[in-house]
Amino acid sequence: MSAYGAIKAPTRTSDPLPSTIWSTKALPSQSNYITLHHLTLSTALTHLGLIDYLWREFAEEVERGLTYPQEMLQGEVFTKEMFEAYFFAGDAFVGIVGSGKVEEGLEGGVREVEGGVDKAAAGRKWEDCVAGFYYVKPNYPGRSSHICNAGFVVPSTQRGSGFGRLLAKSYVHYAPKLGYQASVFNLVYVNNIASVK
């Protein structure tokens, strides 16, 4: 939702963008890579339990009050329908933690990979394999709809692993492919230490 109401995204193909792999070689004590997967609400719903997990993580983040402006009044609940309407109003991406040998030549770069979210999850629980997720949507309507913004969530169990940095790099990779030409971040709370570094 925007202060301007519903905003139409730039015109592009309706097919999901290819999945990509991002090396975490700079973090030798961590997993070797994450894969990023482009989702819409309809594609996310095909992955059993994924929406429920993302919704719970986002609702907890909203409740913490450190990153998103939504405020629930006493007795109100941030419902799954509210999450779907907000987070999937544009395009969404989910990062899945991977381990093992990564092909040479990936360091500092990105490479497209075959397979989707379920293949990357490899039967693991979402709680164990989601490195983070984010949305990309237009920030303004009309002649300024080429300017986007994004909202990121790194689950508390994955924080401190450098995954937020990889999500941000993937955003810079994917946003132009979605048809955007610029980006703006409207709101970053000073107590969100990872975001103000």
Helix (H, G, I), strand (E, B) or coil at 130: strand
**39 phi-psi bin (left φ>0, alpha ψ -120 to 50, beta other):** beta
Residues lower than pLDDT 50 in the chain: 1, 107
pLDDT tens, position by position, 184-193: 877 665 665 5
Q: Please give the pLDDT value at position 92.
A: 96
Q: Please give the pLDDT value at position 131.
A: 94
Closest by alpha carbon to 36, among 160, 189, 155, 164? 164
The ranges assigned to domains in the chain are: 20-189
Report how far residue 23's alpha carbon sits from residue 107's, in angstroms, rounded to the nearest whole number: 6
Tokens found for residue 44: 């996310």
* Residue located via tokens 């899945």: 96
Report how far residue 162's alpha carbon sits from residue 99's, in angstroms, rounded to the nearest whole number: 15
Tokens found for residue 30: 């961590």
Domain 20-189 has CATH 3.40.630.30: yes
Query: What's the DSSP call for residue 65?
Result: T
pLDDT tens, position by position, 153-188: 999 888 888 888 899 999 999 999 999 999 987 766
Q: Please give the pLDDT value at position 5.
A: 59
Q: Please give the pLDDT value at position 123.
A: 93
| pTM for the structure as a whole | 0.85
- Report how far apart, in Å, the C-alpha atoms of 39 and of each of 36, 87, 97 are: 10, 11, 17
21 neighbors 111 (Cβ within 8 angstroms): yes
